[in-house]
């Protein structure tokens, strides 16, 4: 007797214990020597002060800032790095393209 192949399958989604949500504002990366794609996902922000010196009143109450060291520019904080094989990259590209089209259709129809 030949076993019958199922015509449907349930896929259960579970978040890993270390699951996080990332605010991603950009990506950098390239191809690896073995033909995968490596991407670093980052967010951008202004630099945080390395230090700030405040005046203190005679009562020890914090007063105005009189000195601070803050770097110029923008910080790109890299949240995570991801390796993708080409089929996965294509699947993600297709999925993102479909979401972009969905967005365009919703916003064009709502005007």
The domain limits of the chain are 26-85
Average confidence score pLDDT of the chain: 92
What is the Cα–Cα distance from 50 to 1, expressed in whole angstroms?
A: 73
20, 5, 27, 30: which is closest to 84 by C-alpha?
30
Q: What is the pTM of this model?
A: 0.67
Higher pLDDT, 5 or 93: 93
Mean pLDDT of 90-107: 95
Q: Is the pLDDT of residue 103 over 90?
A: yes
The predicted-structure confidence for 85-98, as pLDDT tens digits, reads as follows 999 999 999 999 99
**Could you give the 3-state DSSP secondary structure of residue 3?**
coil
């Amino acid at each position: 007797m030949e076993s019958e192949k199922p015509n449907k399958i349930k896929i259960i989604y579970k978040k890993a214990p270390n699951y996080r949500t990332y605010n991603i504002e950009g990506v950098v990366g390239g191809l690896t020597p073995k033909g995968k794609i490596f991407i670093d996902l980052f967010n951008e922000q202004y630099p945080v002060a390395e230090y700030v010196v405040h005046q203190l009143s005679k009562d020890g109450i914090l007063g105005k800032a009189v000195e601070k060291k803050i770097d110029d520019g923008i910080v790109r904080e890299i949240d995570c790095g991801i390796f993708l094989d080409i089929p996965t990259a294509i699947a993600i590209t297709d999925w993102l393209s479909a979401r972009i089209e969905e967005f365009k259709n919703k916003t064009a129809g709502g005007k």
